[in-house]
Amino acid sequence: MPGRKSEFQRLVDAGQPTGEVTAVRRFMVQVTGLETAAAGAVVMFENGEHGWVRTVKDGIATVLTLTNEGVPIGLLVTIKTDELVVPVGKKLLGRTLNPLMHPLDHKGAILTQSVRPVFTTAPGFAERAMLDTQLETGVTIVDTLFPIVLGQRIAVMGDAKSGKTTFLLQLTINQAKLGRIIVLVLIAKRHTDVEQLIARLEAAGVRDKVILIVANIFDSIPLQYIAPYAGAAVAEELWFGGEDVVILYDDLSSHAKAYREISLLTGTSPGRESFPGDMFFAHSSLLERAGKLKSNGKTLSALPVGVTPNDDITGYLSTSLISMTDGQIVFDLATMHKGTRPAVNVGLSVSRVGGRAQARDHKALASEVSKVLARSRQAEQFSHFGTELSSEMKADFYISMLLKTLFNQEVDDLFTVYEQQVMIHAAFLSKDHPDFSVNWIKTIIHDVYNTGKQDMEPKKLAQQIMASNPSVKS
């Protein structure tokens, strides 16, 4: 603490303006004497704590404290910097940090001299390039039916405990193993959830490729609010520096609630569901910071998470998130209760730009999968009325059941796009191979791929595999 107080004194001695705390309301502090402070400036209190200037009006600065420490009335305040900046760079890889980039992992201080503003504008239209490369998640149903593109902004939506975070973990592991950097921002999460996530990353051997930024449920509301913007600043530094980066915001629903609380306490007029009128801008300006740069061809992909209580995607935050992204992967409990993992709702999910990057043969295969699933749903509806199904409908229903089994994946079951194509072709060929086993092909596909046959056409490889006549049934 003496060292922090000396920093305050150095700022005062350097001629920085000084004010005094005149009112305290939870995390919101009113300060007089800082009329020259700009909105967005960082201030330092005499006790060493920091705050962020929200507004300055009628000679009174409204400051949001960035810690949970108490700030008493009468405490002196001075301006530290004109804008909120955070340390950035590759030295953050493998670390667990709070939104101010203070270590939470007991691995020592962050030794980097580079800093970047938390709040910046997105690259302009002329600075961007077309998206053309698929982002492989390793999850068959997503990579096939709802492909994600590097540089895309796609929402991950669903009710609590519907599998959203598990999917993000699968994507993180798969992308990290492909050499890409992941920035994972956790907002209002429990300590146990964070620890479990870290343990899974370490077990997968990808912890050193992930920057974990955590604002837990016990952190101050302002710290939860700045978390995604701080994560975007960290990701942008790596992106502009020549790296493909994927940033995950888990979740923006909690972030919106933090922003609503801040806005209501600072006197902002409430709008729909008491959210402030600029709620859409707060999230859209964040997500616009993703894309592909024309200068270096590198991408920043953004996957914001939204919570949909009771599987309702028509709520204010859900529809807002859908309107500002290039598609959405929707998880729901109803699908999960049918035994499907991941519980992706095929009818509500869509990737608006995914087809642009998907290989032609994979796109054709995905079209066939969609048709079979649609026809099988129709056949299932007919069967409820006791209608006798035609042989074609029975075949579609049989293949759809194999595909659904194929789409079921545990966290550690990740497949390349090529492996996915081979397995799907095998499912379509199953009508000539009654002993075909989905579980069997999942077990051997990695070994087959590693034998150097990845240059073979997927359908031909599937035919070779089917000819081996597995004896274990699904």
Mean pLDDT of the chain: 90
Interval 252-262 mean pLDDT: 96
Q: What is the pLDDT of residue 48?
A: 87
At residue 423, the 3 state secondary structure works out as: helix
Residue 352 annotated in active site: yes
Contacts of 40 (CB under 8 A, 6+ apart): 52, 53, 82, 83, 84, 119
Q: What is the pLDDT of residue 181?
A: 97
Q: What is the pLDDT of residue 340?
A: 87
Interval 432-452 mean pLDDT: 80
At residue 296, the 3 state secondary structure works out as: coil
List, for residues 107-165, the tens digit of each pLDDT value: 988 888 899 999 999 999 999 999 999 999 999 999 999 999 999 999 999 999 899 99
Residue with tokens 């950097």: 181
Minimum mean pLDDT range among 109-113, 211-215, 240-244, 299-303: 109-113
CATH fold label, 2-83? Elongation Factor Tu (Ef-tu); domain 3 (2.40.30)
Nearest to 138 by CA among 172, 161, 163, 181: 172
Nearest to 465 by CA among 418, 430, 415: 430
213's enclosing H/E stretch is strand 210-216
Q: What is the DSSP string of 77-90?
A: EEEEESS-EEE-SG
Q: What is the pLDDT of residue 472?
A: 43
Q: What is the pLDDT of residue 101?
A: 94
Interval 424-441 mean pLDDT: 82
The listed range with the strongest mean pLDDT (286-295, 389-398, 444-453) is 286-295
| Residue 265 buriedness (CB in 10 A; 0-12 / 13-18 / 19+) | middle
Q: Residue 387: which pLDDT band, with cuts at 50, 70 and 90?
A: low
**213 forms bridges with which residues in the sheet?**
97, 185
Interval 184-194 mean pLDDT: 95
Q: Residue 474: which pLDDT band, with cuts at 50, 70 and 90?
A: very low
pLDDT at 32 over 70: yes
Answering whether pTM is above 0.95, one says: no
CATH of 86-355, one of 3.30.1200.10, 3.40.50.300, 3.30.565.10, 3.40.50.1240: 3.40.50.300
Helix extents (H) in 160-251 = 164-177, 191-204, 221-240
Interval 398-425 mean pLDDT: 91
Nearest to 145 by CA among 401, 461, 404: 404
pLDDT at 200 over 70: yes
Is CATH 1.20.150.20 the right assignment for the domain spanning 361-467?
A: yes
Residue with tokens 């499912």: 427
Q: Residue 3: which pLDDT band, with cuts at 50, 70 and 90?
A: low
Nearest to 347 by CA among 315, 311, 318: 311
The single residue of 128, 341, 352, 377 carrying the catalytic annotation is 352
Minimum mean pLDDT range among 13-27, 141-155, 322-336, 367-381: 367-381
The CA distance from 320 to 370, in Å, is: 27
List, for residues 47-83, the tens digit of each pLDDT value: 888 999 999 988 899 999 998 777 899 999 999 999 9
- DSSP conformation class of 128: B
Minimum mean pLDDT range among 202-211, 234-243, 438-447: 438-447
Q: What is the pLDDT of residue 431?
A: 74
Q: What is the DSSP string of 400-416?
A: HHHHHHHH---TT----
Percentage of the chain modeled with pLDDT above 70:
94
The CA distance from 252 to 328, in Å, is: 14
Q: What is the pLDDT of residue 473?
A: 44
Nearest to 146 by CA among 412, 423, 358: 358
Assign 3-class secondary structure to 141-158. HHHHHCCEECCCECEEEE
Q: CATH 2.40.30.20 residue ranges in the chain?
A: 2-83
The CA distance from 449 to 436, in Å, is: 19
The CA distance from 201 to 293, in Å, is: 29
Which carries the bigger pLDDT value, residue 436 or residue 3? 436
Directed axis angle between helix 164-177 and helix 191-204, to 10°? 30
Taking CA atoms, 389 is separated from 242, 289, 376, 377, in Å, by 56, 51, 11, 12
Q: What is the pLDDT of residue 376?
A: 81
Q: What is the pLDDT of residue 397?
A: 80
**24 forms bridges with which residues in the sheet?**
29
Q: What is the pLDDT of residue 469?
A: 57
Nearest to 366 by CA among 416, 403, 329: 403
**Radius of gyration of the chain from Cα atoms?**
26
Look up residue 127 and give its amino acid. E
Q: CATH 1.20.150.20 residue ranges in the chain?
A: 361-467
Which carries the bigger pLDDT value, residue 244 or residue 379? 244
List, for residues 326-338, the tens digit of each pLDDT value: 999 999 998 898 8
Give yes or no for a contact between 26 and 266, defined as CB atoms under 8 angstroms apart: no
Q: Residue 349: which pLDDT band, with cuts at 50, 70 and 90?
A: very high
pLDDT at 84 over 80: yes
The CA distance from 449 to 261, in Å, is: 52
The CA distance from 88 to 110, in Å, is: 9
Interval 243-263 mean pLDDT: 96
| Residue 94 buriedness (CB in 10 A; 0-12 / 13-18 / 19+) | middle
